[in-house]
Each structure stands twice: as C-alpha cells, then as structure tokens.
Amino acid sequence: MAITSHDVARLAGVSQATVSRALRGDPRVTSTTLDRVRQAAQALNYVPSEAGRSLSTSSSRRIGVVISDLTNPFYPHLVGPLHDELERLDYRMMLFTERTESAIATQRLLDRSIDGVVLATATLDSALPDELGRRSLPFVFLNREADNVPADSAVVDNRKGGGLVAENLVRLGHRDVAMIGGPQDTSTGRDRELGFRLGLAEAGVALPEQYIRRGPFDFGTGYEALAALWELRPRPTAVFCGNDVIAIGALNAALRHGIRIPEELTLIGFDDIPMAGWESFDLTTVRHDLHEMARTSARLLAERIDNPGLAPRKEVFTPEIVFRGTSSHT
C-alpha cells in the first residue's frame, strides 16, 4: 500500500492537517514540528500527492505565466527567479507564450486548472485582465501594466528611467538625440518614451518625430532603426533604446555600418540584462532589479490567492543609470 500523509502524521505524532501545513511551508508550523514531520516523511519515503492535495483543497497549486517569446533574451531573466519564488511558495509554474494566447489558450487560463496568473506581456488595451477579473481568477502584472485595471503589479518606474537617460545625455553635452522605442500599446514602451521626452523638454532639447523609431522589443527593431537614423541630417550623437535587446541590435548595426561607438554615437539601453555587461557589448543602460521584481510578483499573487479581499498593491522599483563603454561626451 502507498504511504499516505496519515501514516506520516501517526509517526510524527501530529495531525494529518499539520503534516499538510508543514510540507507546504506554512509559517504557522513551528520549527520543531516541521523537523518531526520531515523526518517522518523521509523515514517512510513519503512523496506528497499533488492530485490528492488538489482534490482536498480545491487548489491546483499551479500558476500560469504569460510571456511573449522565450527566444527574447529578456524573458528568461524574469522566468528564472519567478519559477524559484513560486517553487518556494509551493506552486508549480505553467508557461503560456503570446503565440498561444488565442481562444484555446484563454480557455486553458480560465478553466480553473490554475490558481492564478502572472501577466508579463500585457498590452494597454488587453482584454485578458478584465476577463480574469470577471471570473475571479487572481492575477498580477509583472513588468507591464494595462490601463484602468485595478490589480496587483510589480513594475519599474519607467517614466523616471526615461527621464534619467535624458538628464544624463544632456549632461554629457548631447543635443541631437534620437530614440528607438518599444510598442506604444505597452506601458513600458509608452512610459519610457514619455519620461525621455519630458526630461529633454525640461532641458530645452527637442525630440522631433523623425528622430523616433518604434517597434517590438527585439533585436531586429534596433538593427533596422539605427541604419535609418544614421541617414538623418544632422545625425544624432546619441540614441536611447527602449530596452537592452533593441540596443544590442543597434550596436550590431553600428558595427555593420562602421559607426564608432561611443566616439561617433552614444547608445543607452534599459533593463541591464546580464548580456548588457558582456565585454562584447559593454552597454550603458538603465538598471533595475529584474530578479526581485519577478520574485515580488510571485509573492503578491500568492498573497492575493490567500486573501482575495486585499486592496490592489503596486510595487515600483527604482531605476538607476549604469555607465559602461557605449556612452561619452560629445
């Protein structure tokens, strides 16, 4: 016969409910009791049954995570710490990519086979957050938000980050500046550009529309946009990129066209993913704590699942400039 939690409870001298709480890391269980339960479970080679626990608690202990594209170097740096924190909280993670966010994927998100959702790629007008709310399925925004949706979120202060870039480019003497931004239907694309525009305006520096290019947060956007910007007259002396992946694309375009970085052109990214610090890129960028932002979203969602009546909470992470080899004075 298979060993059950009741067997563990008898050996440890506690109730079956205490065994369940102890093995899922409930903080109400004392360290002494936790040790007894773990020792009993180990002695009996007991493996908790996810199916059994789901039936008894009406909880799957699964969290759906919606991202856009696993091939984008940005997302693994969210998914890794998010997975680890969810695991620490005794949840399993299920990935949904934007390519599968069709009617079928939406049904899978809403069929109650998961306990909550982390939305990492929401657009400003996305219908999914409203549908999740209508069905009372807990969710949290990570990295991006949707407008007019009261929900928990873990985000960076994108507007402040864009303003920091503008402030430092002006301090370095740049007046002919350009931007390769992200999609305007995302909070990250919109707010980083807005902060950059406002920062330049405060310093009396114009940002004409022809000096702005926008596209997906990917390598191709930066690569194609930089070549077009370099054809303008006067040429920009600095380009702010909406994220590091765009900036890396722009760096490769500069190499292709013989543009010397930073002697002829300053490039600045956003996010400070590990690739940005590689010697081959040495990218000046806006840093924020990606890993802690991801972990925070997991904690916010777990608390929301346990306490549905909580008021919406927003954790905002402060950005800072990291100067490396792609920026200089004019």
Q: Which domain holds residue 68?
A: 62-155+290-317
Given a cut of 70, the residues of the chain with pLDDT beneath it are: 1, 49-58, 98-112
Q: Please give the distance of CA 99 from its chain centroid, rounded to a whole number.
A: 18
- Judge contact between 242 and 217, C-beta under 8 A: yes
77 domain-assigned: yes
- pLDDT score of 111: 65
CATH of the domain at 30: 1.10.260.40
pTM of the model: 0.82
Looking at the structure, tell me whether residues 264 and 178 fall in a common domain.
yes
- pLDDT score of 51: 47
- Judge contact between 91 and 301, C-beta under 8 A: no
Looking at the structure, tell me whether residues 313 and 236 fall in a common domain.
no
Site of tokens 């960076």: 156
Site of tokens 């493996």: 47
Count: domains in the chain: 3
Length of the chain: 330
CATH of the domain at 267: 3.40.50.2300
222 domain-assigned: yes
166 domain-assigned: yes
- pLDDT score of 58: 59
- pLDDT score of 98: 60
56 domain-assigned: no
